[in-house]
Structure 1
């Protein structure tokens, strides 16, 4: 895994994007002009399907802005400023370190500022890796990195086809999964977090997908004493991570 400290770069033109994919570059997203046709577009579209790259159909005006009115040929791609880790390799490496694993799964979190804030807190609390879904998740772009205070370059980030895939892999490695959700009577402070743990946080709008909630080992909520029913996801994530650290420090001191 190599690090790249440049900000997110936009590349444009069908052939340039095809070559970027074939060279192994990590693309955050590809913007395609609506109703695009032609042999090069067909070739690019096949690669997009093979690699599972997130795409968005947009009007030509947006492509003009992204390419600064360059000859984009109906396609602009964002190259990620970081490379992503393989989840199974990261889990294996973490287990070999003899430290109690702590992972973080983000179920289609979409706001880049929340994402950046969570990355920063995760790095500060010793999280071994952050797992996101390829489709529907906030990108690792320049704004994410700025909000993370550079922590995005210091903590492993994994992309999976679906959060369910990651849950299966983690549970097979005997890592317990804890979902942050209001749909439970169990309070976070009653959960044993001094064991191999992966915390699952949901999206800003809908929380954790119901199908994911059915798979986790524990569900936990934070007590809310005020009138507002929920916390910002990055704040809630910080509370979950620091409670994990508090429990582990308490056990160590005994």
Structure 2
């Protein structure tokens, strides 16, 4: 484990790479934490300085209340990233993290900055909505959703005490993402690379392609075998996509 950067509880830096010329900022899914991206940091360091965003209500921030609004999350993360833009930034967000990254990018661009590219993984386009109410279910219903998506460590789901500790943060995240609404005309100027699983129950291919409506910088779609957490099973393939973006040589 790494300690939080002093004074900034929002950012985790597992493998500081002071000589890297580019930074990757990773935004977790609902219920996820910065440590979900530890394998990405391990793989890309020291060529890329990888930062993981840590939302309140989990791990070392478990005593803080969760944030129930994507807009509020984006506001706080934008402030937390101040000073980290001395090198070109790339954003990678999975599921809820994709729309949080999109909103942070919008805020940074409005201030004259922003990422050079946004990787939107496992999430439909910001203006595509569904009638979802997982955040209104009881605890058993929330756990059932986690099991169905296979994105939560089975050890957490089997440990009743630990599970009850993390459920409030998960419920806050689901509240934020399920109540999130975005205008059709909201865009970023950076290019967007969309990653999706071909069997993701949360995102159809049409919903994934619609990210093209939310960028003036062009978009591309990459489809992988798998469901909502395809990136866990196709980790090498996803890392290869990131490596190509950062112009890193292919690993043998």
Q: TM-score, normalised by structure 2?
A: 0.35
Largest Rg, 1 or 2: 1
**More strand as a share of residues:** 1
Q: TM-score, normalised by structure 1?
A: 0.34
